[in-house]
Amino acid sequence: MKIAVVAPSCTLKPEAAEAVVAIAAARDDCELVIHPQCFLSDGHFAGPDNARLAALREVMADEGYDAVWFARGGYGSNRIAESAVEDLPAAARAKTYLGYSDSGFLLAAFDKAGLDVAHGPMVQDVVRPGGEAAIHRALDWLVRREPAALEPGLQPGRRAMAFNLTVLSNLLGTSLEPDFDGVELLIEDVAEHEYRIDRTMFHVTGSPAIRRLGSLRMGRMSEIPDNDPVFGNDAESIVRDWCERSGIAFGGRADIGHDAANRVVPFNIRSG
């Protein structure tokens, strides 16, 4: 299996790329090609919009690749997501796309365009504590659809989606918004204050499209900054509260998050 790595958001750290290429080489079941665009830098981004878009479109159109793996999040994939799915070549439909966090903008747009996407670990996760396990999990799933890589609550045949909550909030109502009808939605977030989680849950669950979800599960909300005064509700209470207010079934916790334990959530589980 041949996997292309591009960076539609922020610049990939060279040491992360080296470590992951070494892991893949040692596995001997896949070939990883790190696109040079991953190391471009233009202010906040891994190169200007047109360079990030060109690299992404290039690997999408390349029949030689079985999968496109997003290097890392940060911010910026929303700026090219709409253009990325215009006039899709056939080769783009014959591969899998994997990422999370800011890459959620692409997961949404690609899912809406009928492509095969999954929420899961990215290349730069190798630098997290225990990050090597995240890399193996991602590759196990990309290469051989290893069931142990999957988020354990997923049900075969049931549509699922997973998003960073803040990213999801920022794509609602835009051209990237996918169809949530009957979907099991998994959310996670990182480094957001509880008042922001509460406000974002208000926004997300206030959407008529989101109210057509089948159910919602909560992954990890990590690195929550201190609130002054103490907010008064923890993240799970906040999520439960807004599900109850909006009539969305709360399905419990999910094993996803900004950490090395982040499991894979294919939006369409086929052979899982």
Site string for a copy of itself, 73-112 (x = CB under 8 A): -xxx-xx---------------------------------
Residue 196 C-beta: closest distance to a copy of itself, Å: 8
50 touches a copy of itself (CB under 8 A): no
Element (H, E) at 236: helix 235-246
CB 164 within 8 A of CB 101: yes
45 touches a copy of itself (CB under 8 A): yes
Residue 54 C-beta: closest distance to a copy of itself, Å: 18
247 touches a copy of itself (CB under 8 A): no
Of 2 and 44, nearer to a copy of itself (C-beta) is 44
Q: Of 130, 128, 111, 131, whose CA–CA distance to 119 is shortest? A: 111
Whose tokens are 């958001």? That residue is 9
CA 249, distance to chain mean position in Å, is: 22
227 touches a copy of itself (CB under 8 A): yes
Residue 129 C-beta: closest distance to a copy of itself, Å: 21
Of 154 and 197, nearer to a copy of itself (C-beta) is 197
Strands 160-164 and 116-119, bridge-based pairing: unpaired
Whole-number Å distance between alpha carbons of 24 and 136: 8
Element (H, E) at 252: strand 250-253
39 touches a copy of itself (CB under 8 A): no
HSE-CB of 92 using CA atoms within 13 angstroms:
16
Count the helices and strands in the chain (H runs, E runs).
9, 10
Residue 72 C-beta: closest distance to a copy of itself, Å: 14
Q: Which stretch binds a copy of itself (CB under 8 A): 51-59, 64-72, 179-187, 231-239?
A: 231-239
Whole-number Å distance between alpha carbons of 195 and 226: 10
Paired strand residues for 250: 216
Nearest 5°: phi and psi at 147? -60, -30
Element (H, E) at 83: helix 78-84
How are strands ordered across the β-sheet holding 116-119? Answer: 31-34, 2-6, 67-70, 96-99, 116-119, 265-266
Residue 207 C-beta: closest distance to a copy of itself, Å: 5
229 touches a copy of itself (CB under 8 A): yes
Interactions with a copy of itself, residue window 122-161 (CB under 8 A) = none
Chosen residue from 26, 230, 270, 271 binding a copy of itself by CB under 8 A: 230
Q: How many residues bind a copy of itself (CB under 8 A)?
A: 35
Interactions with a copy of itself, residue window 185-224 (CB under 8 A) = 194-195, 198-200, 202-203, 206-209
Of 258 and 263, nearer to a copy of itself (C-beta) is 258
Residues forming contacts to a copy of itself in the complex (CB under 8 A) are 41-45, 74-76, 78-79, 169-176, 194-195, 198-200, 202-203, 206-209, 227, 229-233
